[in-house]
A and B are shown apart, each in its own frame.
Chain A
Amino acid sequence: MARLPVLPKEIIKQFGPHKNYTPKEGFPGAHEPDKLVKTHCCFCGMQCGIQLKVKDNRIVGFEPWMEFPFNEGRLCPKGVERYLQNNHPDRLMQPLQRVEGKGFEPITWDQAMERTVNEIGRIRQQYGNDAIGMLSGVSLTNEKSYMIGKFARVALKTANLDYNGRLCMVSAGAGNKKAFGLDRSSNSWEDLKHARVILIAGSNVSETFPTLIHYIWEARDHGAKLIVVDPRVTPIARTADLFLPVRPGTDSALFGAMLKILVDNDWLDHDFIASHTSGFEETIDAVKDYNLEWAEKITGVPAGRIMEAATLWGRAETSFLLHARGIEHHTKGVDNVISCINLVLATGRIGKPYCGYGTITGQGNGQGGREHGHKCDQLPGNRDITNPEHRKYIAGVWGIDEKEMPGKGLSAFEMIGAIHRGEIKGLITICFNPLVSLPDNNFVREALEKLEFFVAIDFFLSETARHADIILAGSLHEEDEGTVTTAEGRVVRIRAAITPPGQARRDSDILMELARRLGVGDKFNYGSSEDVFNELRLASKGGTADYYGITYQKIDQNMGIFWPCPSEDHPGTPRLWEDRQFKTPDGKAHFNPAPFRPSAEPPDEAYPVILTTGRVVSQYLSGSQTRRIGKLVDQYPEPLLEIHPELAAKYGIRNRDLIRVVTRRGEAEFPAQVVETIRPDTVFIPYHWGGKQSANQLTIGALDPVSKIPEFKVCACRLVSTGEKAPEKLSNTAYQSF
């Protein structure tokens, strides 16, 4: 029964989101903290070092951590304000149960656990083990990610576990596995500082990874040329040497055309191609008919600029190619990624100093969380759940019979489909807010409402958790020990600064207790997060993501260790592929053809405008954390529809007119922000909000056939002017998700 028990406004009144501000005089003790705890930000994949000020078991402020080498004290606004999740009036402090017509009422842990375990047992008996689904997320540490992978397979015995990385890094992961046989950014950010040409494709770095900007500028200070590919002039695109305003959904045409130019001008590393790669011939065959005129027509980028980009890339001495969700959130996300990798391999600029390539991993532990069995098709060490050898090894580590280990399950959005069809009846979520973050979220809501039983582990009542039958009050980032792996592949330590408030429990304790009650307590008998990590090390041993040689002590001594690190005397690997020993079956880097094909829903007469979505600097993902922090909300209080003045003129739209955006999935109204910084055929809406102003009511649930990532970055819409002006922005309550 996963319908809202009462109207949203009643739930919001009690559980928020409410905006939390630091009192004018600061939190008590902020100026005389008991201790400063060196840890990392809870948000993006940069994992900036930060010190949290602790007074009387509360976080009361922060102090920059100057010695952590990646960011040397630098932070974005989310990092500065992150500590306001502590001391927050919305914090869940005890287990709750849904009461029809009343809302949520406190219950004891024993009642909450018993009901959860009974419902899981009933559903398993009635419908089979796979009728329980679990959705998780990669803001969680490596230890928790690993535990959840094991928990789903060993305790729940379901194949249906997936994670919110499905909305994030899976296209990059699949593309990297195809090309290199391994999924990690090839270089540490140190190489980025010295590259002579930097190409950024589909990454609003300045708003989504602000602390990486410093590295890009360091390179530019010493002569690097910057090329940015984006439908919008983002702050980093504004100052680029070359800006390619690509039409959403046409990236692989652009990179294919650039590859053709490299071939035509012989800007190729023939030795590298011959000795260390395969697939070159069929890959260039796939682009042989591409020309600049065609590419300009498809991509909307002037031919001269495509030529200039290919020339800069082709002639570069050293280079670094970065991409992110802008090219990955597509039904051809994997194709876009491999078409970027083809440019890197053709010029042989990888595995040597100042030559690099990588996806900019989005979530805090987007890297580590996608390696250790969190995904529906994966086992720890980035092993394959369908590979008999891999299954046997992990079954041995877990102490179970390999035959008992479930097989490959459904990916996140497919799982929602299975719930909607009535195949999955029970759901556990942790660290995932699909009602805001998945596409076509009216469909997601319908699915949630069909569940027979839904339990959410969370520290705030997210939009999704509002639908839960049982809520287990879990822990904030700063309430548990562990490790995460940053976007550059560096494994760092997360420290518990405080213990959970009230009756809230650490997520790891909740999972262990559930496992015990499900009869497999002996498999989850961990005394500390270090115990979990040590088991993870063993489970990853021999896999491509090999952590065996990484210990807590080594991380502390070295400010992090880059995997792979196969033995305790190994220093870790900041730069991959210096040995040219790629992890593919033939040991070579693979070119892959990526012939251009259209997106799932190109614009047409009925829906003539391209809709794309993305982020703003003051909010993070589904906003469950950042829409509760006052200053972050006030900086960008409501989702705006960015529209070019030429397109706006066609509809008579002026700034702050309220515009109804309609797609085949739904409609919603947004104030117009008329700006020249976007293509005239495209509108943009940031997606951090739920309820009536959720951009994901509009987006399409079409998936990449390989990575199963949804196509958030392009669908067709039409615009209807309501004839009304939007209300004053500060009176807006979008952050509450009505």
Chain B
Amino acid sequence: MAEKNEEKMEFFIDMQRCIGCHACEMACAECETNGQESMIHIHYVERPVSVMTTVQVCMHCEEPACANVCPADAISVDWEGIVHSAKTSHCIGCSNCVLACPFGVPKKIEKAELMMKCNMCYDRTSVGKKPMCATVCPSQALYFGTREEILEKRPNSVPVNHFIFGKEHVRTKVNLMMPKESTILKIN
């Protein structure tokens, strides 16, 4: 596993596989740093017409808007490109990051007056384990592995990590699996 880590393990989300079971949320909340709050969220898209669900989790942007707008310099990006939760000693609970994130990920935990988000299970990935959500995900809508592995295992789809929101280009460390030949996801 440790060797594989060096081969650049990546996180892939395949929304079509999500069965809305919430195992990821419950497993995420178990982490000792999360205080029983989940950093990943599953939502129905529109339950009256479909059982389709969607996964919301930090995409770990290359140029994270959350970090850029943080007045307290509380959000850092490490050498592996992981965008970390606001440092508790710095965070002033202003919610700038909550408003700035194009994916709507950071949540302000009101009781703690702190911003919290996914840090890609640093405690697990640093010792060769997968993040907890991708470990338990029963359908493997959440997948952690190398790009080569996923291309081989899932030949009908491709990973995409380039998003366009209006005129804004966002590149992320986390990939979304999209229909074959997709390269960009444009959201107007």
Contact = CB atoms under 8 A, between A and B. Distances in A.
Interface of A: 21-26, 30-31, 61-62, 64, 66, 71, 73-77, 79-81, 206-207, 210-211, 213-214, 217-218, 221-222, 233-236, 238-239, 617-618, 631, 635, 645, 655, 673-677
- Kindly list the 7 A-B residue pairs having the minimum CB-CB distance in the complex, ordered from nearest: A206-B19, A210-B138, A235-B19, A213-B139, A24-B35, A80-B26, A211-B138
A635 B44 CA distance: 13
A30 B48 contact: no
A238 B19 CA distance: 10
Contacts of B19: 206-207, 210, 213, 235-236, 617
B16 to A, nearest CB: 6
B54 interface: no
A60 B115 CA distance: 27
Interface string B119-149: 0000000000010100111111000000000
23 contacts: A22-B29, A23-B36, A25-B32, A30-B32, A66-B135, A74-B135, A74-B136, A74-B137, A76-B21, A76-B23, A76-B138, A206-B19, A206-B21, A207-B21, A210-B23, A210-B138, A214-B138, A221-B154, A233-B50, A617-B19, A631-B26, A631-B29, A675-B47
A238 B48 contact: no
Contacts of A79: 23, 136
Contacts of A234: 51
Interface of B: 16-23, 25-27, 29-30, 32, 35-36, 47-53, 130, 132, 135-140, 153-156
A74 B138 contact: yes
Contact of B140 (A80, A214, A617): A214
B28 to A, nearest CB: 10
Contacts of A676: 48-50
Nearest to A214: B140
Given A75-B138, A214-B140, A239 B48 contact: no
B4 to A, nearest CB: 13
A31 B17 CA distance: 32
Given A75-B138, A221-B154, A238-B50, 9 more contacts: A22-B36, A24-B35, A74-B136, A74-B138, A80-B26, A206-B19, A206-B139, A675-B48, A677-B51
A477 B26 CA distance: 21
A25 B30 CA distance: 9
Contacts, number: 112
B17 A213 contact: yes
Nearest to A235: B19
Nearest to A618: B22
Given A76-B21, A239-B16, A25 B51 contact: no
A73 B155 CA distance: 24
A48 B136 CA distance: 11
Contacts of B23: 75-77, 79-80, 210
A75 B32 contact: no
B36 A233 contact: no
A704 B30 CA distance: 45
A77 to B, nearest CB: 5
A71 B19 CA distance: 16
A590 to B, nearest CB: 36
A648 to B, nearest CB: 10
Given A22-B36, A221-B153, A233-B50, A81 B138 contact: no
Contacts of A64: 132, 135-136
Contact of A674 (B29, B32, B48): B48
Contacts of B49: 675-677
Nearest to A81: B26
A25 B34 CA distance: 9
B43 to A, nearest CB: 13
A25 B156 CA distance: 42
Contacts of A213: 17, 19, 138-139
Given A238-B50, A677-B50, A677-B51, A21 B139 contact: no
Contacts of A25: 32, 35
B51 A238 contact: yes
A168 B138 CA distance: 23
B168 to A, nearest CB: 31
Contacts of B25: 77
Contact of B27 (A75, A673, A674, A675): A75
Nearest to A635: B22
Contacts of A211: 138
A79 B27 CA distance: 10
Contacts of A239: 16-17
A207 B130 CA distance: 24
